[in-house]
């Protein structure tokens, strides 16, 4: 019986290309069974990811009354949709840059020599929680803080006689959304960049110092070149993170701020579903932007991991 199995496996192997690994002989017969075992996994992905995503991407090119058209995609380059994209990109860019720089400064301050170890673990623990604290509760925490009757707003007005709303600030504007987004952008940066900073080995710094390099020279010639791919990659990740966000801005502005996800949502929660293909075209635009960020992020990450332990 065993011989028969072996014979079948060899016959199958001769039929295709000869495998180089010796144990492939034994697994040759079992291979189809193993493939059967991963069918449920691919079925789940196909049914609930590929088919819905494909429906959106194809639907973006369909007309309201059938047939193929570029009208929906063309509309994206006109108001108000162009403005929604501009707002989304602006908020994502601002929070990625400030979040990236601030998060790096925080992570470096916590990880550099001299900072007590308990501060490091406190920062990483808290970042793990805060990076996950988004959406509706986060929006309300800021309404309670910086809203028109927020605790800090009232404190500034009553005690320090500074009326931030009188000075043009509003939590429910683009600036307000940016302030709130930083609450998850900064900790995300800390989490993503901390391993890279830890990878900056102390020996490198000591070697540079013993060769007479100052702090500035060390950063210019060693620190920044080693960390740059990680910092760029993390900042791009932050951009995508803010670009895809929906709940926080929706809750904060009651769906009034024109961001791409909010405009898409209006087609489904409101009564304005006159052309679902336009919503699909808006979603296609998000897909294109996020795919572009991933195309930049993945090679950067690969390069950054060269120095990771």
Partner 1 sequence: MRRRIAPSAVVWLVLGAAYFLVPLVATLLFSLKSNQTGKCCSLAAYGFFLHDGDFWHTLRLSLELGLETIAVALAVFVPTLYLVHLRLPKLRPVIAFLALIPFVVPPIVLVVGMLDVYRGAPSWFYGQPWGFLVASYLILVFPYMFFSLDAGFRAIDVHTLTEAAQSLGASWPATLLRVIVPNIRSAALGGSFLALAVVLGEFTIANLAQFHTFPIFIQYVQESQAYGAAAVSLVSFGLTWAAMLGLLVLGRRRGARPTLVAGAR
By CB under 8 A, the count of residues binding partner 1 is: 94
Say if CB 99 and CB 130 are below 8 A apart.
no
148 part of the interface to partner 1, by CB under 8 A: no
Contacts (CB under 8 A) with partner 1, residues 8-27: 27
Say if CB 283 and CB 56 are below 8 A apart.
yes
Position among 76, 130, 234, 304 found at the interface with partner 1 (CB under 8 A) = 130
Position among 129, 160, 161, 306 found at the interface with partner 1 (CB under 8 A) = 129
* Closest to partner 1 by CB, 106 or 208: 106
Position among 81, 85, 172, 184 found at the interface with partner 1 (CB under 8 A) = 184
**CA 185/CA 96 separation, integer angstroms:** 7
Smallest distance, partner 1 to C-beta of residue 42, A: 8
Position among 3, 15, 22, 37 found at the interface with partner 1 (CB under 8 A) = 37
Contacts (CB under 8 A) with partner 1, residues 204-263: 240-242, 244-248, 250-251, 254, 261
Position among 294, 296, 303, 307 found at the interface with partner 1 (CB under 8 A) = 294
Peptide bond into 80 cis (omega under 30): yes
* Closest to partner 1 by CB, 8 or 291: 291
* Closest to partner 1 by CB, 179 or 226: 179
Query: Which of 261, 268, 258 has its CA nearest to residue 246?
Result: 261
Phi, psi of 285 (to 5 degrees): -60, -45
Q: What count of residues does the chain have?
A: 309
* Closest to partner 1 by CB, 79 or 132: 132
Smallest distance, partner 1 to C-beta of residue 240, A: 7
Say if CB 5 and CB 29 are below 8 A apart.
yes
Smallest distance, partner 1 to C-beta of residue 204, A: 17
126 part of the interface to partner 1, by CB under 8 A: yes
Quickly list DSSP for 39-78: HHHHHHHIIIIIHHHHHHHHHTTB-TTSSB-SHHHHHTTS
The tokens of 151 are what?
Answer: 């605790």
- Tell me, what DSSP letter sits at residue 200? S
Smallest distance, partner 1 to C-beta of residue 121, A: 9
**CA 187/CA 102 separation, integer angstroms:** 9
**CA 191/CA 103 separation, integer angstroms:** 9
98 part of the interface to partner 1, by CB under 8 A: no
**CA 291/CA 239 separation, integer angstroms:** 12
- Helix axis angle for 81-111 and 174-199, nearest 10°, is 40
* Closest to partner 1 by CB, 51 or 272: 51
Position among 56, 96, 171, 226 found at the interface with partner 1 (CB under 8 A) = 56
Stretch of 70-78, 92-100, 164-172, 272-280 contacting partner 1, by CB under 8 A: 272-280
């Amino acid at each position: 019986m065993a011989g028969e199995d072996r014979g079948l496996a060899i016959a199958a192997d001769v039929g295709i290309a000869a495998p180089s690994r010796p144990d492939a002989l034994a697994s040759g017969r079992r291979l189809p069974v193993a493939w059967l075992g991963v069918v449920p996994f691919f079925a789940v992905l196909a049914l609930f990811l590929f088919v819905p995503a494909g429906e959106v991407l194809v639907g973006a090119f369909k007309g309201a009354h059938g047939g193929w058209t570029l009208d929906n995609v063309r509309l994206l380059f006109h108001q108000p949709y162009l403005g929604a994209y501009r707002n989304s990109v602006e908020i994502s860019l601002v929070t990625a840059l400030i979040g990236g720089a601030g998060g790096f400064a925080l992570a470096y301050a916590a990880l550099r020599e001299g900072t007590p170890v308990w501060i490091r673990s406190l920062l990483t623990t808290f970042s793990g929680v805060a990076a996950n604290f988004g959406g509706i509760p986060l929006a309300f925490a800021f309404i309670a803080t910086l809203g028109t009757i927020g605790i800090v707003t009232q404190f500034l007005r009553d005690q320090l006689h500074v009326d931030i709303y009188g000075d043009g600030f509003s939590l429910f504007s683009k600036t307000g959304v940016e302030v709130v987004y930083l609450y998850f952008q900064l900790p995300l940066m800390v989490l993503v960049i901390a391993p890279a900073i830890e990878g900056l080995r102390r020996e490198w710094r000591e070697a540079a110092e013993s060769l007479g390099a100052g702090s500035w020279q060390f950063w210019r010639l060693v620190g920044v070149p080693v960390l740059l791919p990680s910092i760029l990659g993390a900042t791009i990740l932050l951009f995508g993170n803010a670009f895809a966000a929906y709940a926080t801005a929706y809750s904060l502005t009651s769906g009034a701020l024109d961001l791409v996800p909010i405009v898409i949502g209006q087609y489904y929660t409101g009564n304005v579903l006159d052309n679902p293909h336009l919503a699909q075209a808006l979603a296609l635009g998000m897909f294109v932007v996020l795919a572009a960020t991933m195309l930049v992020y993945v090679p950067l990450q690969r390069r950054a991991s060269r120095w990771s332990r």
